[in-house]
Amino acid sequence: MGNACSNNLGIPPAKGPNAVGCTDFMMDHTTQGTFFRLYYPCQESESAEKPDWIPCREYFNGLADFMKINRSLSEKIFNYLFGSFKIPAYLDAPFKTNEKCPVVIFSHGLGAFRTLYSAICAELASQGFIVASVEHRDESASATYYFREKCESERRDEPLPKTSVSAPDNLVEEWMYYRALQHGESEFPLRNKQHLFIILSLAVPFSQQNSMDLCRIAVIGHSFGGATVIEALCKEVKFKCGVALDAWMFPIDEEIFPRVKQPIFFINSEKFQWAGNISRMKKLESALIQRKMITIRGTVHQSFPDFTFLTGNWIGKLMKLKGDIDPEIAMDLSNKATLAFLQRHLGLEKDFNQWDPLIDGKDDNLIPGTNVTVLQSAI
């Protein structure tokens, strides 16, 4: 894959003191297993390569299905626009093993997949976290794959090309794509069921990883993944806090709200939120547990995934992938506020508390709370 129009566009490199490595893990090859891209502090390596941002063409097909456009046409367009971009991390680089690292589980938005938030995940890894970006296997990702056992006829054929996660000889790769609503189908039961499935996949079996500090685990997600953050905190006490990036609160059953006991940080865009969604966030406010909310001025819903860095100004605004703010400024604010919040609630001995004022919206590009007017009677 490759393109001719990348110019000066690209995912910004991480700013922390550590080089960043990444690798893919598939825990159980079936649809019931967990598949994720792991980002981690790594040793410097001259020979390590940076992986493609879009791992293979099937993900272009998945994006086309999600956007309801022709696959063959969109593959050419997507490949031209995005095919040569690399993730700012070294593939399979040696782990930096000087200390145990706090862990972040990242849950992507509806129609996304594991590589589309590499700017966020790589930045966290550069600051000393191990980050597992989980790819949803419930038909809420635009595309993903698993492996099934080969039938007898397939055993006689040539093996299929391997992806980044290699398969044993007795398995064959199967792709699953985004499932849109059927005509007349109600959305809540589907999305609620999907995000409950995701909760199970977030409980990644990390117990064998000696480099992970399993007493310090947080969950972060964007949009549909932001809803997953709330549910995950309710279902799994090992998550000490959560950061919900422009959360889409629709899939959550409100009856769980009183059972969420951990701190939550809502980081919202200025152009996406509406009164009904904000009112659901505000129902999680607590006098005893820290619940914070800020809004980044000039941002849109897609200011959090990597797309915002990979399109020029006019295309980005036409496709609502860019807001009015410089995307690097917006991402920097979001990442620094997140790091400060994680230090506060994971008990880290870092210098992230220098960004504590951002948690309260103290910056010219931040709004404390929300820009959306919500009637008290709606809360």
CA distance 377 to 379: 6
Annotated catalytic residue 246: yes
Annotated catalytic residue 65: no
Using DSSP bridges, classify how beta strands 212-222 and 171-177 pair: parallel, antiparallel or unpaired: unpaired
Torsion of CA 180, 137, 166, 12, to 10 degrees: 80
CA distance 259 to 274: 25
Instruction: Choose, from 84, 107, 223, 334, the residue flagged as catalytic.
Output: 223
Q: DSSP per residue over 359-374, as a string?
A: HTT-STTEEES-SS--
Residue 153, phi-psi category: left (phi > 0), alpha (psi -120 to 50), beta (remainder): alpha
Instruction: Choose, from 246, 306, 332, 363, the residue flagged as catalytic.
Output: 246
Residue 87 contacts by C-beta under 8 Å, 6 or more apart in sequence? 11, 22, 50, 51, 52, 53, 115, 118, 122
Annotated catalytic residue 223: yes
Contact 324, 304 (CB under 8 A): no
Scanning the structure block, which residue is given the tokens 């598939």? 26
Instruction: Choose, from 108, 195, 222, 301, the residue flagged as catalytic.
Output: 301
Scanning the structure block, which residue is given the tokens 């809540």? 188
Q: DSSP per residue over 265-287, as a string?
A: EEEEETTT--HHHHHHHHTT--S
Alpha helices in 186-268 (DSSP H): 187-202, 224-235
Active site residues: 223, 246, 301
